Amino acid sequence: MIEVVPTRSGDAGAQLRLRPPRALTARQFRALFAALAGAMWLVAGLGWLAGNAFAPAFALLHSAGVALALRCLWRSGEHGEEIAIGPSAVDVRRGADVVFSAHPHWVRVHVGRDDGRVTLSSSGRRVEVGAFLGPAERSQLARCLKEFLAAEAGRNR
Name the DSSP class of 23.
S
Question: What is the number of other CB atoms lying within 10 angstroms of the CB of residue 112?
Answer: 12
Q: What is the 3-state secondary structure (H, E, C) of 89-154?
A: CEEEEECCEEEEEECCCCCEEEECCCCCCEEEEECCEEEEECCCCCHHHHHHHHHHHHHHHHHHHH
Question: How does pLDDT run across 12-67, given as a tens digit for each residue?
Answer: 678 999 988 888 888 998 999 999 999 999 999 999 999 999 999 999 999 999 99
Mean pLDDT of 60-89: 89
**Residue 81 Cα distances to 17, 32, 78, 99, angstroms:** 6, 28, 10, 10
For residue 131, pLDDT beyond 80: yes
For residue 5, pLDDT beyond 70: yes
For residue 147, pLDDT beyond 60: yes
CA distance 70 to 76: 10
Chain centroid, CA 33 distance in Å: 22
CA distance 74 to 22: 9
| Coil, helix or strand at residue 15 | strand
Name the band, by pLDDT with cuts 50, 70 and 90, for residue 10.
low
The whole-number pLDDT of residue 156 equals 58
Mean pLDDT of 90-103: 92
The whole-number pLDDT of residue 50 equals 95
